[in-house]
Structures are given as structure tokens and as C-alpha cells.
Amino acid sequence: MIKTIFVTATGTNVGKTYTALKIMELLAAKGLRAAPFKPIETGVDGAPVDALTLLDKHKKLYQDDTLTIDDICPYKFALPAAPYVANGGQTIDISAIKHKLQLLKQKYDVVIVEGAGGLFVPINADYFMIDLAKELCDFVVLVSHTGLGCINDALLSRQALQNAQIPHELIFNRRENDNFDSVSKPFLKEYLSELCEFDDFESVLESVLRQ
């Protein structure tokens, strides 16, 4: 069974945390114990908001108070920028991230890893978020926005995952008043053959877990 699911997106504020929360809810409904993991969060002013949101959801779903914010978010940076930039050009220890993930995998059925930004956000000078996804996870959920530019953003990110031979599923997360139905969806539906939106997510997750 899939043990690690990496949630990434075509950019910032597209819906990674929202998607990770939904995955946790669906897994809990299936009787699986899921743990969140946000290895790096930037733009942290006091507390890592996204990681805390994930941790709170975990506690509510499982009445589990054993996890701490440091267990699920080892790297926190104040500057709202790519991790490598936010860390002042210093190297982030990938082995420390792997170690934290391994501890979670030993205790839980599935770990949902939420990335930062998009696939080519640099973690180190020559190491990107897509490299972390390939090393850490069994499957990637790529979340795309549905506004202007979504065709380019979604297909570029999808191509990158295909080139890296990373198993993945592309999900479109609608926002209000984005004209998706009339502007981008007709082309995407024809080009992709099968277009998955957030409402389809439960069936998508079923197929992911069967792999």
C-alpha cells in the first residue's frame, strides 16, 4: 500500500494544505491512521500556520496528542520565500528531513507530505522540491488552480513529474469566478482525456491507495 503521499501545486496559495486536510479526512474515514508532514515552512511569523493547521486536524481526527509541531515541521523560516532563499543560501539538511519522515512512517499507516510552493522551488542550490518528492514519497498529488494561466501551469508541472518518472495525479481546485468551464476546461478535458476536479478526489484517492 502507498505509505507516503506528497502534495504539491502549480504555485503558492493554490490549495496544498486544503488538499492535505481532505486526504487526512478520507484516510481516517477508511480506518487508516494518517500523519501530516510539512518538512519546510517559510513565512513563519511566530508559528508555522500551515503545519499547525495540519497538526490540529490530526489531533481532532485521532485524538492523538503525541505529535508535536517539531515532529511534523522540522524547518521553519521567517522570510516568505523559497526555502534556500529563506535560509540565507545555507544548506538544508535533507537527511534530517528523511529521518523525521521515517519516524512517522514507523508509527502511522500513511504520511501526507506537504511541499512548499511548486515543484521547482529550490531547497538547496541544486536540489528542488521535485527532488524531495521523488526521494521521499510513493505518489504525488499535483494541485492546479483553475484561473487564467492554469493550462500552462498545470501542463508544465505535469510534464516535469512525467519526466522524473514520478507517479502522480493532477487535480484542479476551483475558485469562484475563474471562468474555468468556459475558458480552460474544454481544452484540458480534450487534451488530458480525463480531467479530475476536487469533487472527484475520493475516487482518485481510492485508485492511489490500490497502487
pLDDT digits (tens, 9 = 90+) for 111-128: 999 999 999 999 999 999
Q: Which region, left, alpha or beta, applies to residue 31 given φ > 0 means left and ψ of -120 to 50 means alpha?
A: left
pLDDT at 180: 94
Q: Side by side, which strands form the sheet with 168-172?
A: 34-37, 110-114, 4-9, 139-144, 168-172
Please report which confidence band the pLDDT of residue 14 belongs to, taking 50, 70 and 90 as the band edges.
Answer: very high
Mean of all residue pLDDT scores within the chain: 95
Mean pLDDT (whole number) for 175-197: 92
Please report which confidence band the pLDDT of residue 58 belongs to, taking 50, 70 and 90 as the band edges.
Answer: very high
Please report which confidence band the pLDDT of residue 17 belongs to, taking 50, 70 and 90 as the band edges.
Answer: very high
| Residue 101 reports pLDDT greater than 90 | yes
CB 116 within 8 A of CB 83: yes
Q: Which three cell numbers stand for residue 62?
A: 485521532
pLDDT at 66: 94
| Residue 2 reports pLDDT greater than 80 | no
Q: Which three cell numbers stand for residue 100?
A: 523525521
CB 183 within 8 A of CB 149: no
With cell 487535480, the residue in question is: 171
Active-site positions read: 38
In 3D space, the residue among 66, 63, 134, 122 whose CA is nearest the CA of residue 98 turns out to be 134
Mean pLDDT (whole number) for 155-176: 95
Give 35-95 as a DSSP string: EEE--EE-S-BSB-HHHHHHHHHHHHHH------HHHH--EE-SSSS-HHHHTTTPPP-HH
Could you tell me the sign of the dihedral formed by the alpha carbons of 154, 23, 94, 50, in that order?
positive
Look at 198 and 7; give whichever has higher pLDDT.
Answer: 7
Domains assigned to the chain? 4-139+154-178+197-209 (3.40.50.300)
3-state secondary structure of 7: strand
Residue 10 DSSP label: S
Which residues neighbour 56 within 8 Å (Cβ) at sequence distance 6 or greater? Answer: none
pTM (whole model) above 0.85: yes
CB 114 within 8 A of CB 17: yes
